[in-house]
Chains A and B, each alone.
Chain A
Amino acid sequence: MDLKQIKDLIAYLEGTAFAEVEVEQGEVRVRVVRQARPQAAPAPASSAAQSVPAQAAEAAQGATSYEVRIPEAPEAGRVIASPIVGTFYRAPAPDKPPYVEIGALVKKGQVVCIVEAMKLMNEIESEFEGRVAAVLVTDGDPVEFGQPLMRIEP
């Protein structure tokens, strides 16, 4: 993705009612976020000097400002996210060893942990094949929907 494409994205966003637009191409992800018109917010004069000068200058001209955030390359590996709300367990029972240890090789479809909800033990399977790079939740902690549980490196 080159500068021209990013400029096009900004121009595209300007003509819509959308707040942001995100484009992913291979490893590169670009997110263009529309900033609310700064002149609309009544900011105290003293703090104005501390705000980003470029934005302040644009605000003075009454222009709409945008921020282009290009996130750093995500950590290597893919993340297994919790499909439900519940309690995270690494082992099938308190006296049993964990399903997987860090560094272990896992196959697609292999059970890697449990999220307990309503006394039901929901076995969470890896969607990827690879090596367990990190366990992102402490055993016994509550997890939200979509919360990353483990990172698997290819």
Chain B
Amino acid sequence: MFTKILVANRGEIAIRVIRACKELGIRTVAICSEIDRDALHVLFADERVVVGPADNALSYRNILNIVSAAAVTGAEAIHPGYGFLAENARFAEICESCGIKFIGPHHTTIAKMGDKATAKAIMAAGGVPVIPGSEGLLPDDEDQVAKIAEQVGYPLMVKASAGGGGRGMRVVLSAEQLLDAVNAARKEAAAAFGNDGVYVERYFPDARHVEVQVIADHHGNVVHLGERDCSVQRRNQKLIEESPSPALPKATRARMTEAAVTAARTVGYRNAGTVEFLLAPNKSFYFIEMNTRIQVEHPVTEMVTGLDLIREQIRIAAGERLSFAQRDVHFRGHAIECRINAEDPKTFMPSPGIIAWYHPPGGPGVRVDSAAYTNYAVPPQYDSMIAKVIVHADTRDEAIARMTRALEEIVLDGIKTSVPLHLEIMEDPVFRRGKYTTRYLEDFLARKRGREARSERRPRKPAKRPRARSAGKGD
């Protein structure tokens, strides 16, 4: 086992990794930018190395300085968290060549899965269901592009091969829109990723985003840890995740989790990873991509399985066997996670600033992963997510009630947060019925705007106001 690990991240995930290390008796090295010296992950770690200025390209993504920091502090392994360098194959390769264990899959696996078109081709060859689409990248010839699109069928989606985060993506409803969309996606992809390769896929407007957590050791053991439903998204950014999915029949769940294990075996996957599927209304499902890292929403899986995924990641990287087999994994109850962002709940504009008073919720079945503290200044340079509130209960209804209670308890004075939005979603009948798709949030906001417009047109009739919340809800 390692004696010292460098955590190449900041915020709540850095703290999450430090917590796992402490429980394993491993010393920790935090890295930080010049503006993060007072960040909580720095205060919790045994050692600290400033690796660059505020700009994350020069600090949290500065491969040379981070590997140097591991070298000068004598760290034997690096945990990349999520984001930053977590899916950077070159970083993983440099770690390996410097004799530092990268806590994650092999760099060749990261590279293969990082290229969406390659990943899809590998999965199709391995027998994992993939979304019908072009085989590989679209050619330059416009007639051929049109022919391929016809075979795939409309509506379809143009996607950047190097893409992510919704950039380089275009929905095409009919043949007339095709070439414009392809060209626009190419331009966007070239600008965003320096690679204008695009492909087309059938588009499923009423689909859900359901993903399966897998974990594999270096001894041939691959285990799935059930699914997470992440359909509540805004512009491909997840807001709420839950497990189990309210939309997955037992038989479909069995097939999907089996497909995820097949996917992991097909690429010789090691460590923790996530296989993302699109779940169509007719319950057929298709591989979207594989995330070769720990994910933001991993606590949802930890709550329903009782496992510590970060601890397993570290043990696996150290060469140990998985501490459980598939038959040892038992799913209990229902878990929901709400991502709390420092942003205006109406306009979604970032709201950095000082958290004048921070109070996390507590009590039975509530977990908060956060790097916030009273008087902490949320910097404008980094991700706006400041806390994850995760609840666990026996049933979904009880979990929703518990989440509402937890969100009413949280205090994040001084900045605007997405807490009020989450509270409204928890009360929304569509969400409560579990009948949501990836278009849910868009519809929810449209319905809300509609209600507000109607109540404005009839000013004399007193509008039904949502009941007042306790103090400190961000507004």
Contact = CB atoms under 8 A, between A and B. Distances in A.
Interface in A65-91: 84-87
Given A87-B72, A146-B34, A146-B53, A40 B356 contact: yes
B39 interface: no
B67 interface: yes
B65 A85 contact: yes
Contacts of B151: none
B374 A117 contact: no
Contacts of A34: 354
A40 B68 contact: no
Interface residues of A, number: 18
Contacts of A118: 64, 67-68, 71, 98
Nearest to B48: A144
Contacts of A41: 357, 374-375
B333 interface: no
A36 B65 CA distance: 34
A144 B51 contact: yes
Interface string A125-154: 000000000000000001011110000000
B72 A86 contact: yes
Contacts of B280: none
Nearest to B353: A17
Interface in B69-108: 69, 71-73, 98
B210 interface: no
Given A36-B356, A36-B414, A142 B73 contact: yes
Contacts of B34: 145-146
B65 A19 contact: no
A85 B414 contact: no
Given A34-B354, A40-B356, A144 B50 contact: yes
A145 B59 contact: yes
B40 to A, nearest CB: 16
B71 A40 contact: no
Interface in B355-387: 356-357, 374-375, 377
A118 B67 CA distance: 8
Given A145-B53, A146-B50, A117 B354 contact: no
Contacts of A146: 34, 50, 53
Contacts of B59: 145
Given A40-B413, A142-B73, A86 B50 contact: no
Contacts of B414: 36, 40
A87 B49 CA distance: 12
A22 B413 CA distance: 25
B68 A117 contact: yes
Nearest to A37: B356
Contacts of B64: 84-85, 117-118
Nearest to B50: A144
Interface residues of B, number: 29
Contacts, number: 67
Contacts of B377: 19
A82 B52 CA distance: 10
Interface in B91-129: 98
Contact of A117 (B52, B65, B375, B413): B65
Given A36-B414, A86-B72, A19 B49 contact: no
B96 to A, nearest CB: 13
B420 interface: no
Contacts of B73: 142
B374 A85 contact: no
B163 interface: no
Contacts of A84: 64-65, 68
B352 interface: yes
A145 to B, nearest CB: 5
Given A40-B374, A145-B52, A146-B53, A85 B354 contact: no
Nearest to B98: A118
Contacts of A36: 354, 356-357, 374-375, 414
Nearest to A147: B50
27 contacts: A17-B351, A17-B352, A34-B354, A36-B354, A36-B356, A36-B357, A36-B374, A40-B357, A40-B414, A41-B375, A84-B65, A84-B68, A86-B68, A86-B72, A87-B72, A118-B67, A118-B68, A118-B71, A142-B72, A142-B73, A144-B69, A145-B34, A145-B50, A145-B51, A145-B62, A145-B65, A146-B53
Given A84-B68, A118-B64, 18 more contacts: A17-B353, A19-B354, A36-B357, A40-B356, A40-B413, A85-B50, A85-B51, A85-B64, A85-B72, A86-B72, A117-B71, A118-B67, A144-B51, A145-B50, A145-B51, A145-B59, A146-B53, A147-B50
Ranked nearest first, the 10 interchain pairs of A and B with the lowest CB-CB distance are A142-B72, A40-B357, A144-B50, A117-B68, A85-B65, A85-B68, A36-B375, A36-B356, A19-B377, A17-B353
